[in-house]
């Protein structure tokens, strides 16, 4: 298997368009249909952006799409409020 270097996706490298409701029961990536055109480059789209998390849709060169949920770490102030009683 060929190793590739990872990189951080900057906010100006993606477009936020519309809304998407992620099916919580969907664990496996969806396969592209035979009619889809092969993409020249992999693409990433932010499909949902919330204060606690974001969901990105990664489209492979073969057309396969995968949704990735990225949860943000709590800020220092948020963590302090959780422990206050």
CA distance 14 to 81: 33
Tokens 């092969």 correspond to what residue? 38
Would residue 63 count as lying in a domain? yes
- The DSSP bridge pattern shows strands 53-59 and 43-49 to be antiparallel
pLDDT computed for residue 63 by the predictor: 83
Domain of 53 in residue numbering reads as 39-75
Would residue 6 count as lying in a domain? no
DSSP-derived 3-state class of residue 5: coil
**Per-residue pLDDT tens for 11-60?**
777 766 666 565 555 445 455 455 555 445 778 899 999 988 899 998 88
CA distance 21 to 5: 30
**Whole-prediction pTM:** 0.41
Nearest-CA neighbor of 54 among 63, 64, 62, 44?
A: 44
Would residue 56 count as lying in a domain? yes
Element of type H or E holding 49: strand 43-49
User: What is the number of domains present in the chain?
Assistant: 1
**Per-residue pLDDT tens for 62-82?**
888 889 888 887 655 555 555
Would residue 20 count as lying in a domain? no
Per-residue tokens: 62:
């073969």
């Amino acid at each position: 298997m060929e190793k590739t270097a990872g990189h951080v996706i900057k906010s100006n490298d993606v477009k936020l368009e519309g809304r998407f409701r992620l099916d919580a029961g969907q664990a496996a990536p969806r396969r592209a249909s035979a009619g889809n055109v092969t993409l020249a480059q992999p693409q990433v789209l932010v499909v949902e952006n919330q204060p606690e998390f974001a969901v990105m849709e990664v489209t492979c060169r073969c057309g396969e799409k995968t949704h990735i949920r990225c949860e943000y770490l709590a800020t220092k102030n948020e963590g302090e409020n959780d422990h206050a009683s």
